[in-house]
């Protein structure tokens, strides 16, 4: 059943590449999608780093872009080493296979613990922080049975449902996705649980720098890791406006199976899960419902390695920089409303390579906003 854990895939980064990747993702205005586009265009992180000042200037930046230095990258690598952690790149064998396929997958993950947990098929379990006794008990049942069936359980280390899911799968393997740096776990009362996870058969993962204290806006970003690592997501007790519903929405966008546990219509903690069922989520009344639905997915290698995610060879930009008239044509075509890049290409009549390069310039200069699903708009 574990086609995803059948063997290592990918290419290991050299130490020089890892430093360059870390510098690039830690530089200003470089997110996962921008990182990917830069690597695809320039062929390597080192070439992209060298091009950043010119790209930013051409995009209309009013000040010089801050580029992370080699010394900063070395300090973070050393901080990870002292903490017993390491960085895994998106093309490497130890990177979670399902996660690398999502829109905006992190180029680098800081990881600590048993890397084997990331090589098995996984299922996410999330829900209310203020969980009921029944909800916490059911979360533990699902996590325990899924673990025994060969799945790694993924959650967010939060109070309530997350805690129950992690504890029930300590022996079989669990992944805790953190909103802050690996050395800044939240909430504080789960520090002991995190140590149990990383000291045993589990793994902690984060895309944030060491020392980064989680803020409110970091938790939805963390939620996409939970949604992306698993083949499916089980939601147990979620209010109408909750982070669990954000995770469920992302899981649906990533093509994952979304499961929901029904609850009393009189309990506000169940309004969100009942709403998911109305919207088409699969109903779960026993752990077997999840295991049976995921079994066909775990039989096949749904996430083959591809050259696009492997460390690129050193190379040079593939096209001559576009002129100001082309750049102005794209700026005039964009606005505050998100649009698809293909529509920009059709509307302007420019080549795809020219459009992508100009969008990169605008992005790095801070003038472009990227949206879920590959949409773009001009920043305010």
Q: With respect to residue 306, please indicate whether it lies within any of the assigned structural domains.
A: no
Together in a domain, 347 and 287? no
Together in a domain, 92 and 125? no
CA distance linking residue 241 with residue 178, whole number of Å: 21
Together in a domain, 81 and 206? no
Q: With respect to residue 258, please indicate whether it lies within any of the assigned structural domains.
A: yes
Together in a domain, 197 and 91? no
Sign of CA pseudo-dihedral 359, 365, 371, 373: positive
Strands (E), 90-216: 108-113, 122-127, 152-155, 174-177, 203-206
Q: With respect to residue 312, please indicate whether it lies within any of the assigned structural domains.
A: no
CA distance linking residue 39 with residue 107, whole number of Å: 10
Which residues, in sequence order, are CB contacts of 89 under 8 Å at separation 6+?
A: 13, 17, 18, 21, 95, 107, 108, 311
CATH number, residue 125: 3.40.50.450
Together in a domain, 273 and 225? yes
Q: With respect to residue 55, please indicate whether it lies within any of the assigned structural domains.
A: yes
Together in a domain, 328 and 280? no
The list of the chain residues with pLDDT below 50 reads 1-7, 306-318
Q: With respect to residue 30, please indicate whether it lies within any of the assigned structural domains.
A: yes
Together in a domain, 191 and 273? yes
What pLDDT does 62 receive? 87
DSSP state of 350: -
What pLDDT does 8 receive? 52
- The answer to whether the CB of 376 falls within 8 A of the CB of 339 is yes
**370 CB burial (10 A radius; 0-12, 13-18, 19+):** buried
What is the Rg, in whole angstroms, of the alpha carbon atoms belonging to the chain? 21
What pLDDT does 374 receive? 82
What pLDDT does 373 receive? 78
Together in a domain, 366 and 229? no
CA distance linking residue 11 with residue 309, whole number of Å: 9
Q: With respect to residue 217, please indicate whether it lies within any of the assigned structural domains.
A: yes
Q: Which pTM was predicted?
A: 0.90
The rounded Cα 337 to chain-centroid distance in angstroms is 25
Here the tokens at position 353 are 């390579």
Provide the b/e sequence for 189-199 (b: ≥16 CB within 10 Å): ebeebbebbbe
Q: With respect to residue 252, please indicate whether it lies within any of the assigned structural domains.
A: yes
- As for how many domains the chain has, the answer is 3
Last residue of a domain, one of 67, 97, 127: 97
What pLDDT does 348 receive? 92
Together in a domain, 129 and 274? yes
Together in a domain, 328 and 374? yes
Together in a domain, 72 and 137? no
Together in a domain, 169 and 265? yes
Q: With respect to residue 2, please indicate whether it lies within any of the assigned structural domains.
A: no
Which residues, in sequence order, are CB contacts of 95 under 8 Å at separation 6+?
A: 10, 88, 89, 109, 118
What pLDDT does 66 receive? 96
Range of the domain at 90: 15-97
Here the tokens at position 67 are 């580029």
CATH number, residue 355: 1.10.10.10
What pLDDT does 2 receive? 40
């Amino acid at each position: 059943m574990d086609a995803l854990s059948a063997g290592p895939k990918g290419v290991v980064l050299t130490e020089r590449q890892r430093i360059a990747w870390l510098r690039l993702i830690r530089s200003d205005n470089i997110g996962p999608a921008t990182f990917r586009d830069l690597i695809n265009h320039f062929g390597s992180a080192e070439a992209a780093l060298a091009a950043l000042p010119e790209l930013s200037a051409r995009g209309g930046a009013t000040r010089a872009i801050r580029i992370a230095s080699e010394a900063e990258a070395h300090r973070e690598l050393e901080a990870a080493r002292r903490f017993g952690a390491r960085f895994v790149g998106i093309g490497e064998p130890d990177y979670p296979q399902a996660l690398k396929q999502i829109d905006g997958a992190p180029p680098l993950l800081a990881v600590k613990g048993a890397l084997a947990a990331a090589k098995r098929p996984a299922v996410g379990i999330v829900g209310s922080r203020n969980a009921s006794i029944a909800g916490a008990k059911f979360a533990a049942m699902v996590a325990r049975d899924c673990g025994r069936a060969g799945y790694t359980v993924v959650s967010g280390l939060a109070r309530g449902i997350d805690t129950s899911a992690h504890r029930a799968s300590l022996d079989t393997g669990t992944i805790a996705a953190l909103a802050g740096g690996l050395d800044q776990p939240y909430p504080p009362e789960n520090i002991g649980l995190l140590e149990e996870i990383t000291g045993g058969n589990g793994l902690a993962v984060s895309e944030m720098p060491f020392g980064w204290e989680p803020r409110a806006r970091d938790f939805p970003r963390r939620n996409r890791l939970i949604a992306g690592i698993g083949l499916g997501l089980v939601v147990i007790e979620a209010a109408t406006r909750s982070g669990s519903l954000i995770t469920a929405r992302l899981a649906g966008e990533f093509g994952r199976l979304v499961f929901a546990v029904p609850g009393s219509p009189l309990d506000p903690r169940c309004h969100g899960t009942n709403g998911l069922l109305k919207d088409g989520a699969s109903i779960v009344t026993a752990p077997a419902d999840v295991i049976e639905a995921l079994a066909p997915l775990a039989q096949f290698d749904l996430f083959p390695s591809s050259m696009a995610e492997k460390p690129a060879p050193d190379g040079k930009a593939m096209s001559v920089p576009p002129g100001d008239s082309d750049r102005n044509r794209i700026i005039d075509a964009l606005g505050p409303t998100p649009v698809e890049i293909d529509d920009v290409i059709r509307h302007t009549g420019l080549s795809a390579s020219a459009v992508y390069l100009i969008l990169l310039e605008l992005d790095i200069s801070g003038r472009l906003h990227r949206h879920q699903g590959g949409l773009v708009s001009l920043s305010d």
